[in-house]
Amino acid sequence: MPNSEYQNSFFKDLIDFKLRKYITRRVASVVYLFYLIFIPITTLILTYAAYAYVREFYEQGSFQWQLVAIWIAGPILGLLALIYTRLIIELNIAVVNIAENTESKE
């Protein structure tokens, strides 16, 4: 459990209008956790919706290759979305690290 000094510092940094303190590293893990839960659930829902659509609107026997493509492509696209999200978050953290290391010491 974070101590109250850390929480006060976070909220103090959050309303710093001169933007002297970065909160990116503190928020990045929460954002990644959200996407780590959201992307697989969305992938399952969209894959099932595509499966139901194909079964509903195509003739019997002519949709097997499409079902195989849906069940293979759906999870692969979800995994690619998760990888892309992780890369973007890491890029943001790297930019903040560069900014912190190059700012002038006052």
With beta carbons less than 8 A apart as the criterion, state whether 88 and 104 touch: no
- Check residue 66 and give its pLDDT: 77
- Check residue 5 and give its pLDDT: 56
User: What Å distances lie between residue 6 and 23, 25, 26, 64, 106, CA to CA?
Assistant: 12, 14, 11, 56, 23
90: nearest Cα among 38, 24, 19, 20? 24
- Check residue 9 and give its pLDDT: 75
In this structure, what token pair is assigned to residue 75? 């999870």
Residue extents of the structural domains in the chain: 27-102
- Check residue 55 and give its pLDDT: 79
Mean pLDDT per 10-residue run, the chain (106 residues)?
60 67 82 94 91 77 75 91 95 90 72
85: nearest Cα among 45, 43, 46? 43
- Check residue 40 and give its pLDDT: 94
Entry pTM: 0.71
